[in-house]
């Protein structure tokens, strides 16, 4: 009892102390290092190598294009960073303070160069002659030239975008003059906002610094604030409260609706369309806020900071009418999250399930996530007498590991799915906790370079069990797990239930994932059994291509499972290769991409005259149109149908019907899926 009292009392005292002294950046960095030492799966030593990584990360975050700092400033900063690892451990910020002062003056200098450039006469008919390499910091005397390159490229791009409606014809001199003058002013404002945001929000630079520390542990560990944490956790949920619109800032600096989320009030209103321009917003009883001249950051803050459930949105639609729509925040299924199902009717009836994300209800672990939705879809599909299933995990970036394990469980009777290595070194086998399988017939899992993490767990495990034939391309190669934790020391010591948000949060890599054959997908990815050919060179950035990635140690553990008989892969591969090599769509795409590559080699817009650049863009545009035509060719081996079971829902809701039609259209023009379908037919013939 005494001990308990003592702890509570000292806890209170600590809290009181905190309330008096705000948490400094130094406190944060010291806390980060201490926290990662006990919670990271493979924490490195905090030495000069670590300090160097933090420095490199900070430079990359604050000056990614190497045009704000000069070579001299960079070199001086690098010298001063020698003591960085010690400072982080001790909680001092001598280097950071110095960095901040240098950086602010560099941004201010860059801004002046920018203003002078846009205020000068710019002759777009004459290409730039001076050239400063992109991959290094400029010498002091080259600084203005480097910016000129960047700014001129932006100007050329902006001007050419405005000429899209006239098919990129070079306008009359007078019109061109007006267009250039307008564009210069607009870009000056836009770059002005950009520079302003870089230094005006002090905490942004501090967050960059803290992130540079976490990312020195590994690329997936991040620091974030309360607001970002909320956004991040919401991202992983199938149901979130939203108005249901996403927007982009278009080239005219206006905010344009870029998508509507099915089921949201924006979607259901039927009055808002993509491409509409937002004029003003009115949250609840708040004032009318005009968006003109606002930065993206400022606009996103409006949405993030409001508690209001109602939003009156004023729009200009494509007919140039001004309309007002009342939206309310509601739970919606977002376009990217929900599973989509179709029956592919051809020589055989094959089911198709597309799962773009392993969503779950993050805050309520007892509730059911995507695995249960897939199960429901399968139960309906089984009633349609399907003979095979294609599960599409292409571009599925992962999500909940529990859902991944449950999803594998749908297809195997019982047994291990993956091995987890925790930060304390313990190894745990994660098993399918439901004996029995929902689906026993042939299964193909589609993966590609964008299939990561939980997707790779599913593909890898089903491959180890010989339960699914994996078709596609080598996956991303991420086999680590992250959790979001509060940095508040009182939480770690169990002295309080509610964290102090001022400490912020970390997404920390706390576990490594291994396959049941004891190998790991980390850096390696899942190798497909049958490869789908890309119509262009594979230039994707996978996990192994990032800096500061974790290389997991090898493990030793007893594993017991009985894989199904092996597939006749050799035969399936050769048949598929033959088909793909004679595929007309692939051939067309391949030729077009090659032509595009040779165009791209012609050079940067800053070193071309506007006339030559427009010619180049025209040629490019023709090729892009060609790509569009090839990608939208209907496949011939099946026609996609929706589930008859859901027909009444589509009958009732025209939005859902439109949504379904879009999806079916995509399925009917997916030449990769068509190849997977043919492979399934080969599998069934055996």
Partner 1 sequence: MKSILATLFLLVSLSYSAQNDAIAYMNTFSNEYSAIQQSMWDYTRTISHGKSARKVEKTRLELIKQSDNALSNAKKAKDFNGSTAFRDSVISYFTIVNLVLKEDYEKLVDMEEVAEQSYDLMEAYMTARDLASDKQTEAANMIGEEQRKFAEANGITLIESTDDLGQKMEIASMVYEHYNAVYLIFFKSFKQELYLINSISGLDMSGIEQNKEALLSTLEEGRIKIKEVPLYQNDETMVASTRNLFDFYEEEAEGVALVQDYLLKTEKFNKVKTAFDEKKEKSRTQADVDQYNEAVNEMNAAITTYNEWNDKMNEKRSKFIDAWNSAAAKFTDKHVPKKK
Is residue 438 close enough to count as binding partner 1 by CB under 8 A? yes
Q: What is the largest CA-CA distance in the chain?
A: 88
* Choices 99-107, 151-159, 298-306, 407-415; region in contact with partner 1 by CB under 8 A: 407-415
Rounded CA-CA distance 240/338 in Å is: 12
Smallest separation, CB 286 to partner 1 (Å): 25
Query: Out of 176, 179, 323, 437, which residue is the one contacting partner 1 (CB under 8 A)?
Result: 437
> Nearest-CA neighbor of 545 among 512, 519, 523?
523
* Choices 30-38, 225-233, 412-420, 474-482; region in contact with partner 1 by CB under 8 A: 412-420
Rounded CA-CA distance 520/508 in Å is: 19
Rounded CA-CA distance 344/352 in Å is: 7
Is residue 555 close enough to count as binding partner 1 by CB under 8 A? no
* Choices 73-81, 119-127, 386-394, 652-660; region in contact with partner 1 by CB under 8 A: 652-660
Rounded CA-CA distance 370/361 in Å is: 9
Rounded CA-CA distance 372/320 in Å is: 45
How many residues contact partner 1, by CB under 8 A?
Answer: 39
Smallest separation, CB 256 to partner 1 (Å): 25
* Choices 91-99, 240-248, 299-307, 428-436; region in contact with partner 1 by CB under 8 A: 428-436
Rounded CA-CA distance 401/408 in Å is: 11
Nearer to partner 1, 368 or 491 (CB): 368
Nearer to partner 1, 289 or 649 (CB): 649
Nearer to partner 1, 425 or 436 (CB): 436
Smallest separation, CB 270 to partner 1 (Å): 9
Cα-to-chain-centroid distance, residue 215:
17
Cα angle 672, 673, 675; round to 5: 65
| Inter-residue contact 136 to 69 (CB < 8 Å) | no
Q: In what order do the strands lie in the sheet with 388-392?
A: 530-531, 469-472, 443-447, 388-392, 349-354, 340-346, 638-641
Query: Out of 114, 150, 213, 374, which residue is the one contacting partner 1 (CB under 8 A)?
Result: 374
Residues of this chain, 262-281, that bind partner 1 according to CB under 8 A: 263, 268
Q: 272-282 b/e with 16+ CB inside 10 Å = b?
A: beeebbbbbbb
Is residue 431 close enough to count as binding partner 1 by CB under 8 A? yes
Helices (H), ranges, 365-499: 370-382, 401-411, 454-464, 489-492
Query: Out of 436, 564, 611, 621, which residue is the one contacting partner 1 (CB under 8 A)?
Result: 436
Query: Out of 174, 320, 498, 558, which residue is the one contacting partner 1 (CB under 8 A)?
Result: 558
Is residue 409 close enough to count as binding partner 1 by CB under 8 A? yes
> Nearest-CA neighbor of 247 among 257, 260, 236?
257
Rounded CA-CA distance 8/490 in Å is: 11
Smallest separation, CB 665 to partner 1 (Å): 21
* Choices 99-107, 213-221, 488-496, 651-659; region in contact with partner 1 by CB under 8 A: 651-659
Nearer to partner 1, 187 or 410 (CB): 410
Is residue 645 close enough to count as binding partner 1 by CB under 8 A? yes
Smallest separation, CB 360 to partner 1 (Å): 13
Strands (E), 409-488: 415-422, 427-432, 443-447, 469-472, 480-486
Is residue 310 close enough to count as binding partner 1 by CB under 8 A? no
Residue 618 to residues 172, 319, 417, 631: CA-CA distances in angstroms?
A: 18, 28, 52, 20
Is residue 433 close enough to count as binding partner 1 by CB under 8 A? yes
Smallest separation, CB 319 to partner 1 (Å): 21
Phi, psi of 351 (to 5 degrees): -85, 150
Nearer to partner 1, 54 or 430 (CB): 430
Query: Out of 559, 591, 602, 684, which residue is the one contacting partner 1 (CB under 8 A)?
Result: 559
Rounded CA-CA distance 49/81 in Å is: 11
DSSP-assigned letter for residue 532: P
Is residue 669 close enough to count as binding partner 1 by CB under 8 A? no
DSSP-assigned letter for residue 242: E
Query: How many helices (DSSP H) and strands (DSSP E) are in the chain?
Result: 22, 20
Rounded CA-CA distance 198/194 in Å is: 6
Is residue 402 close enough to count as binding partner 1 by CB under 8 A? no
Query: Out of 45, 560, 570, 685, which residue is the one contacting partner 1 (CB under 8 A)?
Result: 560
Phi, psi of 83 (to 5 degrees): -95, 10
* Choices 289-297, 410-418, 447-455, 635-643; region in contact with partner 1 by CB under 8 A: 410-418
Rounded CA-CA distance 30/152 in Å is: 43
* Choices 27-35, 294-302, 335-343, 433-441; region in contact with partner 1 by CB under 8 A: 433-441
3-class DSSP assignment, residue 279:
strand
Is residue 326 close enough to count as binding partner 1 by CB under 8 A? no
Beta bridge partners of residue 343, listed in sequence order: 351, 641
* Choices 211-219, 239-247, 490-498, 555-563; region in contact with partner 1 by CB under 8 A: 555-563
Smallest separation, CB 357 to partner 1 (Å): 17
Residue 271 to residues 143, 265, 283, 330: CA-CA distances in angstroms?
A: 49, 10, 19, 17
Nearer to partner 1, 15 or 376 (CB): 376
Cα-to-chain-centroid distance, residue 666:
21
Is residue 413 close enough to count as binding partner 1 by CB under 8 A? yes
Smallest separation, CB 328 to partner 1 (Å): 11
Nearer to partner 1, 577 or 649 (CB): 649
Query: Out of 646, 663, 669, 684, which residue is the one contacting partner 1 (CB under 8 A)?
Result: 646
Smallest separation, CB 398 to partner 1 (Å): 19
| Inter-residue contact 428 to 481 (CB < 8 Å) | no
Rounded CA-CA distance 188/232 in Å is: 33
Nearer to partner 1, 188 or 376 (CB): 376
* Choices 82-90, 355-363, 484-492, 551-559; region in contact with partner 1 by CB under 8 A: 551-559
3-class DSSP assignment, residue 219:
coil
Smallest separation, CB 684 to partner 1 (Å): 22
Smallest separation, CB 390 to partner 1 (Å): 19
Q: 634-650 b/e with 16+ CB inside 10 Å = b?
A: ebeebebebbeeeeeeb
Query: Out of 435, 594, 611, 634, which residue is the one contacting partner 1 (CB under 8 A)?
Result: 435
- Per-residue contact string for residues 342-371; x = within reach of partner 1 by CB under 8 A: ------------------------x-x--x
Smallest separation, CB 413 to partner 1 (Å): 7
Smallest separation, CB 401 to partner 1 (Å): 16
Beta bridge partners of residue 390, listed in sequence order: 352, 444
Residue 210 to residues 213, 241, 274, 287: CA-CA distances in angstroms?
A: 5, 30, 37, 36
| Site residues, partner 1 (CB under 8 A) | 263, 268, 366, 368, 371-372, 374-376, 378-380, 406, 409-410, 413-414, 416, 429, 431, 433-438, 557-560, 645-646, 648-649, 651-653, 655-656
């Amino acid at each position: 009892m005494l001990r308990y009292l003592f702890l509570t009392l000292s806890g209170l005292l600590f809290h009181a102390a905190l309330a008096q002294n705000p948490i400094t950046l130094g406190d944060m960095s010291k806390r980060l290092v201490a926290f990662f030492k006990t919670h990271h799966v493979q924490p490195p030593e905090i030495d000069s190598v670590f300090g160097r990584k933090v420095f490199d990360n900070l430079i990359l975050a604050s000056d990614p294009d190497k045009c704000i700092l000069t070579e001299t400033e960079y070199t001086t900063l690098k010298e001063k960073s020698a003591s960085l690892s010690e400072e982080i451990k001790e909680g001092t910020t001598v280097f950071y303070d110095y960095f901040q002062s240098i950086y602010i003056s560099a941004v201010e200098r860059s801004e002046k160069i920018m203003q002078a450039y846009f205020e000068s006469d710019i002759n777009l008919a004459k290409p730039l002659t001076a050239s400063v390499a992109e991959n290094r910091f400029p010498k002091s005397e080259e600084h203005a030239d480097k910016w000129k390159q960047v700014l001129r490229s932006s100007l050329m791009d902006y001007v050419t975008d405005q000429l899209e409606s006239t098919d990129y014809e070079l306008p009359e001199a007078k019109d061109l003059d007006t267009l250039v003058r307008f564009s210069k002013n607009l870009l000056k404002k836009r770059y002005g906002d950009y520079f302003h945001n870089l230094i005006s929000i002090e905490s942004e630079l501090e967050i960059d610094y803290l992130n540079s520390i976490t990312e020195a542990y590994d690329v997936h560990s991040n620091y974030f604030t309360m607001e970002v944490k909320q956004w991040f956790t919401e991202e992983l949920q199938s149901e979130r409260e939203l108005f249901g619109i996403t927007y982009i800032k278009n080239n005219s600096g206006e905010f344009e609706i870029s998508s509507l989320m099915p089921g949201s009030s924006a979607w259901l209103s039927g009055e808002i369309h993509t491409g509409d321009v937002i004029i003003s917003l009115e949250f609840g009883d708040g004032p009318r806020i005009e968006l003109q001249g606002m930065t993206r950051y400022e606009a996103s803050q409006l949405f993030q900071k409001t508690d209001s459930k109602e939003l009156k949105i004023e729009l200009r639609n494509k007919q140039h009418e001004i309309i007002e729509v009342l939206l309310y925040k509601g739970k919606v299924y977002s376009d990217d999250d929900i599973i989509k199902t179709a029956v592919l009717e051809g020589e055989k009836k094959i089911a198709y399930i597309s799962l773009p994300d392993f969503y779950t209800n993050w805050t309520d672990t007892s509730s059911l996530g995507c695995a249960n939705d897939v199960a429901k879809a399968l139960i309906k599909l089984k009633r349609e007498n399907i003979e095979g299933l294609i599960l599409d995990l292409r571009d599925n970036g992962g999500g909940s590991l529990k859902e991944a394990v449950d999803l594998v469980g749908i297809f195997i009777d019982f047994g291990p799915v993956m091995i987890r290595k925790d930060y304390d070194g313990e190894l745990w086998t994660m098993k399918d906790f439901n004996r029995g399988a929902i689906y026993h017939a042939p299964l193909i899992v589609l993966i590609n370079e964008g299939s990561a993490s939980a997707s790779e767990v599913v593909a890898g495990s089903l491959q180890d069990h010989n339960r699914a034939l994996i078709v596609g391309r080598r996956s991303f190669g991420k086999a680590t797990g992250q959790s979001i934790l509060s940095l508040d020391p009182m939480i770690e010591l169990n002295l309080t239930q509610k964290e102090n948000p001022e400490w912020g949060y970390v997404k920390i890599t706390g576990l490594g994932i291994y396959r049941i054959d004891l190998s790991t997908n980390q850096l390696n990815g899942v190798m497909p059994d049958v490869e789908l050919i890309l119509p262009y060179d594979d230039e994707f950035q996978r996990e192994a291509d990032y800096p500061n990635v974790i290389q997991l140690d090898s493990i030793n553990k007893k594993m017991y499972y009985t894989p199904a008989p092996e597939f006749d892969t050799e035969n399936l591969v050769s048949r598929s290769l033959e088909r793909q090599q004679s595929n007309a769509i692939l051939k067309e795409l391949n030729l077009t991409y090659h032509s595009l590559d040779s165009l791209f080699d012609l050079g940067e817009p800053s070193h071309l005259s506007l006339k030559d650049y427009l010619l180049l863009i025209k040629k490019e545009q023709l090729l892009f149109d060609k790509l569009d035509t090839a990608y939208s060719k209907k496949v011939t081996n099946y026609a996609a149908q929706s589930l008859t079971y859901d027909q009444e829902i589509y009958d009732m809701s025209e939005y859902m019907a439109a949504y379904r039609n879009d999806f079916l259209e995509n399925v009917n023009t997916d030449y990769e899926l068509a190849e997977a379908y043919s492979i399934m037919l080969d599998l069934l013939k055996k």
